[in-house]
Amino acid sequence: MFALVIHSHLPWLANHGRWPVGEEWLYQSWAATYLPVFAALRTLADEGRTGLLTLGITPVLAAQLDDPHCLEAMHHWLGNWQLRSHEAALMTNGAGAAGTASSTAALRELGHREHRYSAAALEEFETHWRHGGSPVIRPLVESGVIELLGGPLMHPFQPLLDPRLRAFSLDEGLEDAKTRWGARPQGLWAPECAFTPGMESGYADASVSHFMVDGPSLRGDTSLGRPVGDSGVVAFGRDLTVSYRVWSPKSGYPGDGAYRDFHTYDHDTGLKPARVTSKTTSSEQKKPYDPALAAVAVDKHVADFVEAVRARLREESERIGRDALVVAAFDTELFGHWWHEGPQFLEQVLRALPAAGINVGTLDRARREGYVGEPIDLPESSWGSGKDWRVWAGDQVQDLVQLNAEVVAEALAFVDDELAAGGRDLVADQVLREALLAIASDWAFMVSKDTAAGYARDRAHKHAHAMREIIAAHRGGNTARAQQLAAAWHRADGLFPGLDARRLSKESS
């Protein structure tokens, strides 16, 4: 069996800046990935296809796709995209030489093309998304087109998290999914695929039956899912041979010269006019993007991927002496945001694989049909650099590791004291909400990878400050001030209104 797994995540960005880092990141991904990918899945569903892929959506991304502010701002963003396309179509002063992507003729053609793209995106959004992402996603879950993987609230790096808060965050995240989509996920994509021994017991307690890890976590043998210890919870590993054919740290299909170049912009409009051309071609010399050339490349890579999956299934089945499982896993945002042609590839490959006689299924189906081997003791691991924890616990981020530990300890102590008398307490709820926002794994990742490190540190400290400001007012005897602060910070970040700190208190008993 072949299983395709895609994982959708962005940190909470609403009301935290627009450009170059902030909400723009959300709207770019929404327009380039979420709109076309879910449109493709809906098309395939209308053809009667089921069990197409396993889709992870983190609670924090799901919250933004349903958030009224984000929905209104996304609509504005799409309209602005159309205005920018009109600007390009009227261009009279392209800076590039004839035949390059920045020539006047190429930019005007870019404007016409982007007008068509933006018009289609506006129609898709207005028809299907104006009431949020949940009405788009839920029918695909209920009809069995996709299997949904859940995750913990706010996307924390779980191995470094206090076990009590880890359990709370996971249970709240799974319940949030149930609220949005009608079913509590049995499968899990843990943040960063991070694991430490003992977490399997927490998964079992949360009724999680299976979760994803990276291939090296299973010592490279990903041909079957493996129960972890005696928990009965199955770990499925990403097959790097197949996955890296599409996308790896150094190569993959998106680098083909015919595909649209991610890094080259027309800075007057913010549009992307060029094809990759070659790895050595400078931005000013890149050729104009040609959708017809890109379509030929997609056909070529779909055929190549199908043959790679077929070969890998045969190779692994022969090696283990029984039918093997191959799992390819990627960030959803690869398909569209990072790789413009990705949604087209995804739709075509989901038709081509079964047409070639390849058994395609979800992780849950693989587990139920016995694609499971002997138990394994899973080591500390992640899918980051080195497949260990260096990105989230290395020397570059020791200040954030220390901050996270302090924030968690302060939040737990406050919640225990505040809830001792019982009853719902919105101040305690907000303290917990800010603590979880402060410790999101994204901040350490952005610092370690030097991608908007300043923004990441600012976000972590801002949420830590909000939590401490509320606690200080309350402990200083100014209950009214603490309530005002909690309400104000919740208005600023109005996610997960159902979060209830009393459930953390129960966990401690």
Please list the active-site residues.
192, 331
Q: How far is CA 14 from the centre of its chain?
A: 16
CA 177 – CA 180 distance, rounded (Å): 5
User: How many CB atoms sit inside 10 A of residue 42's CB?
Assistant: 15
Strands (E), 313-450: 326-331
Q: From 338, 347, 300, select the one nearest 4 (Cα to Cα).
A: 347
- Cis peptide before 197, with omega less than 30 degrees from 0? no
Q: From 224, 190, 186, select the one nearest 208 (Cα to Cα).
A: 186
CA 306 – CA 507 distance, rounded (Å): 47
Q: Are 102 and 12 in contact (CB under 8 A)?
A: no
Return all residues near 393 (Cβ < 8 A) that are at least 6 apart: 157, 160, 401, 444
* Amino acid found at 33: T
Q: Which long-range contacts (CB under 8 A, 24 or more apart) does 301-307 make?
A: 301/253, 301/256, 301/345, 302/345, 302/348, 302/349, 302/352, 303/352, 304/245, 304/253, 305/242, 305/245, 305/246, 305/253, 305/349, 306/349, 306/352, 306/353, 306/356, 306/358
Return all residues near 485 (Cβ < 8 A) that are at least 6 apart: 466, 469, 470, 473
Q: Are 1 and 366 in contact (CB under 8 A)?
A: yes
For 360-386, letters b (16+ CB in 10 Å) and e give bbbbbbbbeeebbbeebebeebbbbee
Token look-up 């042609």 returns: 341
In 188-270, alpha helices (H): 199-205, 240-246
Q: How far is CA 446 from the centre of its chain?
A: 14
Q: Are 35 and 71 in contact (CB under 8 A)?
A: no
**How many Cα atoms within 13 Å fall on the side-chain side of residue 139?**
13
Phi, psi of 4 (to 5 degrees): -100, 125
CA 283 – CA 445 distance, rounded (Å): 28
- State the pairing for strand pair 226-227/234-237: antiparallel
DSSP reduced 3-state for 100? coil
Query: Residue 401 to residues 218, 301, 417: CA-CA distances in angstroms?
Result: 27, 42, 25
CA 6 – CA 366 distance, rounded (Å): 16
